[in-house]
Amino acid sequence: MASDTNLLKATTDKVVLIGDVGVGKTSIFTRFKSNEFDESSKGHNPKEDKFTKMWKPSGGSEVSITLFDTAGIERHMSTIPPTYFRSAKAVILVYSITDAETFDSLSNWIENAVSAMGVGTGGLVKVLVGNKVDLDSDRQVDRNRAEEFAKNVDINSKFVLETSAKTNKGIDDLFNLVAMEIAPSVKQSPKGGAPKTEKSKCCSQT
């Protein structure tokens, strides 16, 4: 039988990537997995749809994150199956800053996540990621527009980021933010008693 320690080690938080075809989900996944970027990537390798890694944000506790990529299933289906979202602690909504259509799809992606998770979305961390920021000269979506959208769907502006999977810009910030938010924060009791563990209250979202 597994000991408690082993059970604790086996605990990992599920984080899912969603967004339109070609926005860079697999490239962000590969950055998370091996800190590489494949310029010639022609989409997802269906054998690599999840990867677990310990992530330690500066000033926070180490968290085990299992990152899920869609394995390109959004190419063949209008919606991602509900099982993709099951038990997820955080969802990373990716669009490309160079393609306004991928930004316009975000509402549908959020609806998919919410309907798949039903009542379970109360504590779901949602992060909005504008990828391909290295292509700023081709930008179609201003950061202000992303922040405005986030406000309308109850995503705190703290969870609006821009990244480049190509140059690695913002990728560490993304996973630091996710890790900080899903990690239990440890609070010292006022009388120096046993530390109390609770979920971060910061920036709660609906």
Q: Given the rule CB under 6 A, which residues bind ligand GTP?
A: 21-27, 39, 41, 43-44, 72, 74, 131-132, 134-135, 164-166
Query: Which of 88/183 has CB closer to ligand GTP?
Result: 88
Closer residue to ligand GTP in complex, CB, 104/154: 104
Q: How far is CA 124 from each of CA 5, 45, 156, rounded to the nearest angstrom?
A: 26, 27, 12
The answer to whether 64 and 12 have CB atoms below 8 angstroms apart is yes
Q: How far is the CB of 6 from ligand GTP (least distance, A)?
A: 34
- Which residues neighbour 179 within 8 Å (Cβ) at sequence distance 6 or greater? 55, 56, 57, 60, 63, 65
**Shortest Cβ 110–ligand GTP spacing (Å):** 17
Q: 26 or 121: whose CB is closer to ligand GTP? A: 26
Q: Which is nearer to ligand GTP, 138 or 142 (CB)?
A: 138
Number of H helices, E strands in the chain: 6, 8
